[in-house]
Amino acid sequence: MNTDKRTEIAKLGKFGLIEHLTQGIAPSNKETLLGVGDDAAVLHFNDGEDTLLATKLFMEGINFDLTYFPLEHLGYKVAMATFSSIYAMNGTPKQLTISLAVSKKLCIEDTEDFYEGVKLACKNHNVDIAGTEITASLTGLAISTTVTGTAPKGASVKRSGAKETDLICVTGNLGAAYMGLQLLEREKIATEGYEIQPDFSGKEYILERQLKPEARKEVIERLREENIHPTSMISVTDGLSSELMHICKQSGSGCRIYEERIPIDYQTAVMAEELNLNVITCALNGGDDHELLFTVPIADHEKVAAIKNVHIIGYVVNKDMGLALITRDGVEMELKAQGWVQNNK
């Protein structure tokens, strides 16, 4: 480790560090059409479909807490989060490989539970488990996943294609997974040292969004059926603001989104009020929703507006106009990304 010169990782954050480490890296093989910098790499072999490749890493204590996270749900969640990276490229996931670093506190039955969740997710999305590796860990459970997928030749969607006047769309609703996490953390503290079970009645939805999210396979299928080709797309993993900033930065554009159009579930709003949190802030920065954020040409307005679980929340503008949220009062507020640094201290 460096002792003479130290720059703390927090100075750059997750995405800044990735960009710093990978700057100047360019593909040297003709099969690599797109490398670092998107939800998945795009490869092309011969004259067939585009091949997509994505990887994820999950660490106990950072990405999940086994105090309240059932291992079957964890297996399901990591698989869905990985599949979402392929859907975010307008692709279809096909094969999944998993590597585990397992500590002594887990037994064979625990790993079986984890794999039951993975197998269910793969069954629901018609994905093959194509490989597994396991090693020992002294610091808790670590999970690495890699997924391959396909997209029609030339149909892969990058983050960099958004253009002025494009509509900004998001699937499902936002902030629910974050609210589910806050609820679990609160009850963990409240019940610590007591042999009592927390009462989650009326909060089942936000818990499910945290513990058992669903990748948006059906939306990708509907976009194809309607012959809508998104100009850019990204999986909402680290918060709407963060993901929108990625699209705008890589597309060389700005944006305007409207507070009143951001989709928020009733349970999310109730939980935010109960915890004295601003629900819009949670929706913008909470993360872990695994929804899809994408842009489409304005000419597709009627078709995209008719798709179930898709919401038009704004539009793309010139880069010089910056990134802003229009409040219910008509005030423009600059968008800032807080998700990863805030949620993973």
CATH number, domain containing residue 126: 3.30.1330.10
Q: Does pLDDT of 9 surpass 70? A: no
Of 101, 126, 151, the residue that ends a domain is 151
Mean pLDDT computed over 253-263: 97
Is there a domain that residue 160 lies in? no
Lowest pLDDT segment from 146-155, 193-202, 234-243, 250-259: 193-202
Tens digits of residue pLDDT in 46-100: 667 888 989 999 999 989 999 999 999 999 999 999 999 999 999 999 999 999 9
Of 87, 119, 151, the residue that ends a domain is 151
Same domain? For 37 and 179 the reply is: no
Is there a domain that residue 161 lies in? no
Lowest pLDDT segment from 52-56, 111-115, 258-262, 316-320: 52-56
Same domain? For 232 and 137 the reply is: no
Is there a domain that residue 196 lies in? yes
Same domain? For 232 and 320 the reply is: yes
Mean pLDDT computed over 195-200: 73
The values of phi and psi at residue 9, to 5°, are -60, -30
**Are the beta carbons of 22 and 37 closer than 8 angstroms?**
yes
Same domain? For 278 and 130 the reply is: no
Same domain? For 118 and 202 the reply is: no
Same domain? For 196 and 330 the reply is: yes
Is there a domain that residue 3 lies in? no
Of 151, 176, 209, the residue that ends a domain is 151
Give me the CATH number covering residue 320.
3.90.650.10
Same domain? For 213 and 69 the reply is: no
Q: Supply the pLDDT for residue 238.
A: 87
Give the dihedral of Cα atoms 240, 285, 122, 312; nearest 10 deg.
-30
Q: Is 140 exposed, middle or buried (CB count within 10 Å of its CB: 0-12, 13-18, 19+)?
A: middle
Q: Supply the pLDDT for residue 342.
A: 35
Q: Of 306 and 4, which is predicted with more confidence?
A: 306
Same domain? For 94 and 202 the reply is: no
Mean pLDDT computed over 143-155: 91
Report which of 150, 166, 146 is spatially closest to residue 43, judged by C-alpha positions: 150
Where does the pLDDT of residue 282 fall: very low under 50, low under 70, confident under 90, or very high at 90 and above? Answer: very high
Same domain? For 188 and 269 the reply is: yes
Is there a domain that residue 159 lies in? no
pTM of the model: 0.86
Same domain? For 239 and 100 the reply is: no
Token pair for residue 167? 């509509």
Residue 88 domain boundaries: 9-151
Per the structure, the count of domains in the chain is 2
Is there a domain that residue 156 lies in? no
Give the dihedral of Cα atoms 44, 48, 49, 53; nearest 10 deg.
-40
Is there a domain that residue 218 lies in? yes
Q: Supply the pLDDT for residue 341.
A: 41
Q: Supply the pLDDT for residue 17.
A: 65
Same domain? For 124 and 177 the reply is: no
Is there a domain that residue 268 lies in? yes
3-state secondary structure (DSSP) of residue 47:
coil
CB atoms within 10 A of CB 98: 22
Q: Supply the pLDDT for residue 22.
A: 64
List strands edge to edge, sheet with 32-34.
32-34, 41-44, 50-59, 142-151, 92-102, 128-136
Same domain? For 309 and 333 the reply is: yes
